[in-house]
Amino acid sequence: MPQDSTALRLDGQGKPLWLALELTYRCPLKCSWCSNPLDFDDYAERELSTEEWCRVMREARALGALQIGFTGGEPLQRRDLEQLVAYAEQIGLYTNLITSGVGLTDERLLGLKQAGLRQIQLSMQSTDAAMTDELVGAKAHQLKLDAARRIKEHGLPMVLNMPVGRQNIGQVGAMIEYAAELGAEYLELANLQYYNWALINRDELMPTLAALREAETVVQQWREKLGKRMAIYYVIPDYYEGRPKACMNGWGAIHLTIAPDGVAMPCQESRSVPGLDFVSVREQPLDWIWNESPLFRKYRGLDWLPEPCRSCDEREKDFGGCRCQAFLLTGDAANTDPACDRSPHHHLMQAAVHSATKPLRFRKPLVKRVAGVMSTAFMED
């Protein structure tokens, strides 16, 4: 979680240091920026078993993985979560639970702590109940507050994650104050990334640059006030920065995501790119997938880079940017990320910013992540 765009970048030395296990796509929320598919039942029938997940973790550890994130969907929907945490702890992986907090009872929290869970990342959308419930499409605000309180009462380190968009960016100061009073060690003010549902809702979710800079000023004021009491992470979206982020330190560099059905991915969005040859851990060992599969080798390193990236003196900083964003905006994952102002496709990002932030425009309701609306949303655009 970088604090700014110049943060230290890890050299994984060819190892998948960070492993994200998407245990399930089942989730009680309907967030308008979600990255998960809707066919939960199909995935539920194909979810890896407890034994298969343990094998994945064992193979990842042998590859050099150090940290694991149990995520989803909502990972608390898996009844074997405590067992999986215990096994990860047993083989030496640092464990992190990424959760909405819905379902995090005292009983489950104690079970996870006893299993060896090291840290919890809890999502909170607002300090206001009505706004939270509207953004996530469920009566979840009080459940989240209760979960935050329980986490701290039981002495677990906590990252509060606030997805930041147009609707809640004005509450950044209130969120920092709440997190500080609660005793959170970290607050991640995560400006939304525009993929999947967030891309559908981009015009409604994207804040103006003025709002982003104002929030940045608030963040800096609180950093000075709190000192080392709480780390606050805040990064301006690359839609406004003129340079792309170094996505996962480059494709297939330090990050590995495993979907509920066992498909291995360089990032959670890579399945949105057509024509890639995805392989399941049920078909091949993780060592082969990481080191030899065409998928992970396709955009790894620098040799594949197109111009102007290939000749750019910043190519080892951003590795050409995000392949998924390049595909979603240009139709070709091999193109230069339009976030870069040196890209021949940068005008696409400029047009998106103009569309989302132009004054006196008609505003539409957010499209919630529910079945039957995806094609309709695209047709309206």
CA–CA gap between residue 101 and residue 119 (Å, rounded): 13
pLDDT at 377: 37
Question: What CATH number belongs to 13-380?
Answer: 3.20.20.70
Question: Does the annotation list 31 as a binding residue?
Answer: yes
Contact residues for 354 (Cβ-Cβ < 8 A; gap 6+): none
Task: Write down the pLDDT at residue 162.
Answer: 96
Position 10 scores a pLDDT of 56
User: Looking up tokens 């992986």, which residue turns up?
Assistant: 93
Domain limits of the chain? 13-380
Successive 10-residue mean pLDDT values, the chain, 381 residues: 40 85 94 81 86 98 96 96 98 98 97 98 96 95 97 96 96 97 95 90 92 96 96 91 86 94 94 94 97 96 93 92 94 95 95 80 72 40 36
pLDDT score recorded for residue 3: 35
pLDDT of residue 7: 43
**Does residue 105 contact residue 72 with C-beta atoms inside 8 Å?**
no
DSSP 372: T
User: What tokens appear for 58 in the block?
Assistant: 């064992």
309 labelled binding-site residue: no
Q: What is the CA radius of gyration of the chain?
A: 20
Predicted local confidence at residue 366, as pLDDT: 84
pLDDT of amino acid 40: 63
Task: Report the candidate in 365, 347, 361 with the shortest Cα–Cα distance to residue 239.
Answer: 347
CB 200 within 8 A of CB 377: yes
Q: Does the annotation flag 312 for ligand binding?
A: no
SS3 percent helix, strand, coil of the chain, rounded to 5, is: 40, 10, 45
